Amino acid sequence: MTLLTDQQIQSFLINGFISIETKLDKSFHDKIYEDVSKVISKEGNPGNNIYPRVKDLLKVYEDDNIKGAITSILGGDYIMQPHRFTHITKPGTKDQLWHKDSYFGFKKELRYNQPWNVMAMYYPQDTTQHMGPTAIKPKTQYGMIDPKRCPKEIHNQHSKSSPSDIFFNCKAGSVLIIHYDLVHRGTQYAAGTGPQRLMFKFQFTRTKAPIGPTWNHNQEQRDWDAKDAKELQPVVKCMWDWMLGETPINNKDAPMKKLKAILNNSKFEEERLGAAYQFACSGDINCLLDIIQSKNNVEHKQGACSCFSQHVPLIQIVLFKLLTP
Ligand SMILES: O=C(O)CCC(=O)C(=O)O
Ligand SMILES: [Fe+2]
């Protein structure tokens, strides 16, 4: 199994995606394309049944490179979800709206910032710009706002296209692994200009919180500062510590006043989230309690909850305080 390097994990924690090629050869991918196209033309889209229907798909997700990448991100005990889907883009398809996938139709205010879930999208044919490739917005996986379902009064910078968007044009056999909450969409395919584009979305879930690194880790990277994540640095640093099986270091000197001002006034979700994490990482029980109980914006709670989950002993104290008169 080919595990990811520290740099690849760090990049995944910042950007929310990694692209990996299988070791399988072109003839394998051609056969998948052909077999699935036949099934679709006879029976329609088989939905979750695509995997039992075309069993060779498992070879993609059991491939050394793909399994190695998923193990690195989710740990060795991950499971494949029973939900999966074949996305078929035909010539004439329009752009989708930018969105975060829902949790089976449920709108969830808080999402898991830690990598508990990934989607692994497999493309069996060369996918070029005119064929409606998947497009992604890097660094959007930690935000709470789903641009497709966002109320109009909330400022949301991710509902529109931007120069930093990535169109995933790729070679047959590529797999795009994304944090479940990354903003993405399928894009338009000009009418009458070629074969249907296929993309298989399979989902994987971690079953245990990490107790140590599950990638090809070099001790020298242990204290990585996550500075490259800019505004999201406190969030990504927390994720890195969590992936290493450590609790984040409490920063008792956090500039609380300044952070509160950013939380309440910044128009940018990344800034609010970064401040929320710093705030919550102060490890001050009363401050965390205030955040959880307050009616403040959702980033307060996201930061506090995420940090809480990394502070299990602290949660026990908080609950004890809450439950005892
Ligand atoms: O077709 C694609 O590339 C993406 C589709 C998608 O994101 C969706 O339908 O939720
Ligand atoms: Fe989607």
Residue 168 Cα: closest atom of ligand 1: 3
Lookup: tokens for 1: 């199994």
Both 187 and 295 in one domain: the answer is no
Using a pLDDT cut of 90, give the percent of the chain over it: 63
Contact by Cβ (8 Å): 241, 116? no
Higher-confidence residue of 71 and 295: namely 71
pLDDT value of position 307: 59
Bridge partners for 131 per DSSP: 189
What would the mean pLDDT of 157-170 be, rounded to a whole number? Answer: 93
Both 192 and 71 in one domain: the answer is yes
In a domain, 214, yes or no: no
Q: How far is the CA of 121 from the centre of ligand 1 (A)?
A: 9
pLDDT value of position 60: 98
Give me the CATH number covering residue 140. 2.60.120.620
For residues 208 and 188, what is the distance between their CA atoms, to the nearest angstrom?
A: 38
pLDDT value of position 322: 64
Domain enclosing residue 268, as ranges: 247-323
Q: Whose CA is nearest to atom 7 of ligand 1?
A: 185
pLDDT band for 292, please (50, 70, 90 cuts).
low
Q: With a cut of 60, say whether residue 309 has pLDDT above it.
A: no
Both 195 and 307 in one domain: the answer is no
Sheet holding 166-167, edge to edge: 166-167, 134-136, 184-186
* Average pLDDT value for the chain: 87
Within the chain, where are the H helices? 6-15, 26-43, 50-53, 57-62, 64-74, 233-243, 256-265, 269-280, 285-293, 298-309, 312-323
Read off the pLDDT of residues 56-68 as tens digits, 9 standing for 90 and up.
999 999 999 999 9
Read off the pLDDT of residues 79-109 as tens digits, 9 standing for 90 and up.
999 999 999 999 999 999 999 998 776 666 6
Read off the pLDDT of residues 19-30 as tens digits, 9 standing for 90 and up.
999 999 999 999
Q: Which residues line ligand 1 at a C-beta cut-off of 6 Å?
A: 87, 89, 96, 101, 134, 184-186, 199
In a domain, 238, yes or no: no
* CA nearest neighbour of 167 among 192, 146, 197, 196: 197
pLDDT value of position 51: 94
In a domain, 15, yes or no: yes
Read off the pLDDT of residues 38-48 as tens digits, 9 standing for 90 and up.
999 999 999 99
Contact by Cβ (8 Å): 4, 72? yes
Bridge partners for 84 per DSSP: 202
Report, in this order, helix, strand and coil percent for the chain, each rounded to 5. 40, 15, 45
Q: 161: Cβ–Cβ under 8 A, 6 or more apart, which residues?
A: 98
Both 195 and 297 in one domain: the answer is no
Per-residue CA distances from 197 to 98, 144, 203, 270 (Å):
19, 30, 20, 34
Q: 52: Cβ–Cβ under 8 A, 6 or more apart, which residues?
A: none
pLDDT value of position 78: 98
Last residue of a domain, one of 149, 179, 205: 205
Both 26 and 137 in one domain: the answer is yes
What would the mean pLDDT of 186-203 be, rounded to a whole number? Answer: 94
Residue 121 Cα: closest atom of ligand 1: 3
Q: Whose CA is nearest to atom 4 of ligand 1?
A: 186
Contact by Cβ (8 Å): 243, 212? no
Using a pLDDT cut of 70, give the percent of the chain over it: 83
Higher-confidence residue of 12 and 151: namely 12
Q: With a cut of 70, say whether residue 282 has pLDDT above it.
A: yes
Both 195 and 145 in one domain: the answer is yes
Both 253 and 201 in one domain: the answer is no
In a domain, 229, yes or no: no
CA-CA-CA-CA torsion sign (203, 205, 210, 212)? negative
Q: How far is the CA of 300 from the centre of ligand 2 (A)?
A: 26
Q: How far is the CA of 182 from the centre of ligand 2 (A)?
A: 9
Both 184 and 281 in one domain: the answer is no
Q: How far is the CA of 135 from the centre of ligand 2 (A)?
A: 10
CA atoms within 13 A on the CB side of 102: 8
In a domain, 230, yes or no: no
Q: Whose CA is nearest to atom 10 of ligand 1?
A: 101
Both 199 and 252 in one domain: the answer is no
Contact by Cβ (8 Å): 140, 182? yes
As for how many domains the chain has, the answer is 2
Lookup: tokens for 258: 């300044």
In a domain, 178, yes or no: yes
In a domain, 111, yes or no: yes
For residues 70 and 62, what is the distance between their CA atoms, to the nearest angstrom?
A: 10
In a domain, 159, yes or no: yes
Last residue of a domain, one of 173, 205, 237: 205
Last residue of a domain, one of 145, 178, 205: 205
Both 266 and 194 in one domain: the answer is no
Residue type at position 265: N
152 by DSSP, 3-state: which?
coil
pLDDT band for 272, please (50, 70, 90 cuts).
confident
pLDDT value of position 300: 62
What would the mean pLDDT of 127-136 be, rounded to a whole number? Answer: 96
What would the mean pLDDT of 146-162 be, rounded to a whole number? Answer: 79
Q: Which of 19, 87, 119, 179 to mutate to test the pocket of ligand 1 (most atoms within 8 A of CB)?
A: 87
Both 22 and 104 in one domain: the answer is yes
What would the mean pLDDT of 274-289 be, rounded to a whole number? Answer: 72
Q: 106: Cβ–Cβ under 8 A, 6 or more apart, which residues?
A: none
Both 184 and 276 in one domain: the answer is no
